[in-house]
Chains A and B, each alone.
Chain A
Amino acid sequence: MNTQNAFGSNSNSTSSISVAGAAQDAETTLRLIASLPAPEGLENRVIAGVRSAPISGRVLGWPALLNPAESWLRTAAAAAIVFVIVGGGWGVYSRIQPDNVSASKPVAGATAGFSNAGAVRVPQTLPAPVVVQPAPIQTTQPQAAEPANNARGKIVPGKHRDAKHVAGNKASVQASAPNSK
């Protein structure tokens, strides 16, 4: 048998076995396994297992009088289902009054808009960067000139220009007066 052949090839000196012989050896083993007989009673056990397996439930057939193959009957049945669903929904809706609906009270202390939800700002624990104040700028103007300006009053450049403009106008009026007379 195959087993004896395989065993014989194994017990011989291994050096004389060719590559083709090795492949044949492997196929011999696989053939031997492939030809192993099935255990006795396998068919009976399989049939018993198949019989005991749950079979999906059968759907009852429609009576001949209510044969759903009729299209009008199907349409009528669909319309009846829709009528029952819509009617039931409307009935429930019409019985519930809006007064019965309890309005929820506003939460005490709640204000409009978003709240901080109790969050508190925590300042940074690390020392913040020290801001260095810029040094005061040294002015080159003499301190004594300021009282004179203050004595004359602060003259806004725009006002000064207006004053010159007014004086010029007066001079032009005086020059043109003889001609008008």
Chain B
Amino acid sequence: MSTSQAIYAGWMEIANTTVDDLARARAEEATLEALVSQYASALYRVAYSVLRNAADAEDAVQETFLRVLRHRDTLDEVRDQRVWLIRIVWNIVLDRKRRSKTRPETDDVDELARVLPSAGLSAEQFAAAAQHHAHVLSCVDKLPTKERQVLALSAFEELSSVEIAAVLGITESSVRSRLFRARNLMAEMLDHARSLR
């Protein structure tokens, strides 16, 4: 084999490496698509529970998977992909929420009236229900941050207290104590609001 043939053989190996890279990229893409189809809905609900805006929640889900794409090399090291993804989207929505603090409260009512199920309710009942939920959510917003976060995540039935602790990066006992405090505070606030009416 001459030198030039050897060099060409070497370049042929580049082609093989490129083929391997392409195959790996396709495998990563397939993995990502599987993650999207499996967890996009759950991530959307988590995002919506904080942002309370459909478009913002969808953007947050999109950004979550873009981050996953960016760190796809570490995907194999993740033990629980669901909790990992929820943690990512949780951080994203908290960041977005922090940046858009000036959103008026009436947006919540309008958004809730748009998305809440209205089957079996008259127009007046539906409007009153939407108003009530918006009031409850405004009380939730008045909770301290730690308690509010635990309460919001505890509403997801698929998340156990251990998983909530993993998402928030705290211990399970802290989750329980914060949840207890949050429930008490919510009860006080709602009871106080009712007594004023």
A contact set with B: CB distance below 8 Å? 1, 3-4, 6-7, 10-11, 14-15, 17, 19-20, 22-23, 25-27, 29-39, 42-43, 45-47, 49-51, 53, 55, 58, 60-66
Contacts and interface: CB of A to CB of B under 8 A. Distances in A.
Contact of B197 (A4, A14, A39): A14
The 3 closest A-B pairs by CB, nearest first: A63-B10, A30-B155, A22-B190
Contact of B121 (A4, A23, A38, A55): A4
Q: Which of B48, B128, B155 neighbours the largest number of chain A CB atoms within 10 Å of its CB? A: B155
A25 B117 CA distance: 17
A26 B150 CA distance: 13
Given A19-B187, A33-B52, A46 B45 contact: no
Given A23-B184, A23-B190, A29 B137 contact: yes
B69 A50 contact: yes
Q: Is the interface of A mostly helix, strand, loop or mixed?
A: helix
A66 B10 contact: yes
Interface string B12-28: 01100110010001000
B190 A25 contact: yes
Instruction: Label chain B's interface by main secondary structure.
Output: helix
B91 interface: no
A88 to B, nearest CB: 28
Contacts of B45: 33-36, 38
Contacts of B83: none
A29 B133 contact: yes
Interface string B110-126: 00100111111100010
B48 A33 contact: yes
Contacts of B25: 55
A63 B13 contact: yes
B132 A10 contact: yes
A32 B133 contact: yes
B79 to A, nearest CB: 23
Contacts of A36: 45, 48, 115
Interface string B141-159: 0000000000110111100
B186 A23 contact: yes
A50 B66 contact: yes
B175 interface: no
A43 B157 contact: no
A1 B186 contact: no
15 contacts: A6-B132, A7-B125, A22-B186, A22-B190, A26-B151, A27-B183, A29-B140, A33-B155, A38-B44, A39-B54, A39-B58, A43-B36, A53-B66, A64-B13, A65-B7
Given A19-B187, A61-B17, A63-B11, A7 B194 contact: no
A29 B18 CA distance: 53
Given A3-B121, A42-B41, A58-B21, A50 B65 contact: yes
A70 to B, nearest CB: 13
